[in-house]
Amino acid sequence: MKKVIYFFAAALLCLAGVNEAQAQKQMGGEKNLEFNFAPLGGNPIGVNGIRFRYFNSESSALRVNLFVGSSTTTTVTAQEGEFSPEDPTSPLLQSYDRAFDLTIRPGYEIHFEGTDRLSPYVGAEIDFGIGNTSTENENWGAQDPDDSPGDFVVWTDTTKDPYTRFGLNLLAGFDFYFADNVYLGAEFGYGFSVMSMGDTTVETDNQSAWGLNNLGDPDADLPDPTVNGSQFNVGPNVNGQIRLGFLFN
């Protein structure tokens, strides 16, 4: 709570300092980077991708938002010795949930006169993204019907689900310059997106072990890809955080 009080006190002092002077906003030719700002949240400053703008004039800007992210969650599915406590001891087994997302949003803004420190704008952006989720499971078992536990091996099976997204957003927002070339802003929009789900596939690094342990046949084939559908969304979208950015040449 003390940190929040200190922040608002500093913000008020900062804004008071510029009341008697005009804060410089874009004139054309500047470049711009910005962050997401949530003063009351657990992480006050965050980055939801990198947003870059280039003001090709005082009243217009080219923009692009780029996000590349990946994550891996590891879960222990079997402790060492859980299946075979004596020699041969069964190994520790784990599963890995992975996700990857690449999003790029190019767009264009038209800025209005506003006031000395306020720059309202409207614009549009294209939303394009690709990604996938997967789950990899470690297993321990025979790869031949005659195998004894001493011949068992660790093998993996992986289920993958890719997707592609395309959309278009109409935007409206503002930048309020509380100091030279530094602003706080907000933005909302209305648009649509179509997400196409790719085929679900199953892969393994040991097909004979997979076939024997899943279907009782070491010569069994992996399942055919599962065809998935698509998802269509239309409606308003809002950035729930304050935008904090700065201009540079």
Residues 146-183 pLDDT 10s: 999 999 999 999 999 999 999 999 999 999 999 999 99
27 compared with 238, residue with greater pLDDT: 27
Query: 105: closest CA among 76, 141, 134, 63?
Result: 63
Distance from C-alpha of 199 to C-alpha of 163, rounded to nearest angstrom: 9
**Mean pLDDT value across residues 12-26:** 59
112, pLDDT greater than 50: yes
106, pLDDT greater than 60: yes
> pTM surpassing 0.85?
no
For residue 212, what are its two tokens? 């024997």
Q: What confidence category does residue 241 fall into, taking pLDDT thresholds of 50, 70 and 90?
A: confident
**Mean pLDDT value across residues 52-67:** 96
189 compared with 6, residue with greater pLDDT: 189
Q: Cβ contacts of residue 205 below 8 Å, gap of 6+?
A: 155, 156
Distance from C-alpha of 111 to C-alpha of 54, rounded to nearest angstrom: 13
Quick one: what percent of the chain has pLDDT higher than 70?
A: 89
- Strand partners of residue 200: 226
59, pLDDT greater than 80: yes
Average pLDDT, the chain: 90
Distance from C-alpha of 2 to C-alpha of 9, rounded to nearest angstrom: 11
Q: What confidence category does residue 2 fall into, taking pLDDT thresholds of 50, 70 and 90?
A: very low
Distance from C-alpha of 160 to C-alpha of 201, rounded to nearest angstrom: 5
For residue 155, what are its two tokens? 């093998």
pLDDT of residue 221: 96
Quick one: what percent of the chain has pLDDT higher than 90?
A: 80
Each residue's pLDDT tens digit, 144-155: 999 999 999 999
Each residue's pLDDT tens digit, 177-201: 999 999 999 999 999 999 999 999 9
17, pLDDT greater than 60: no
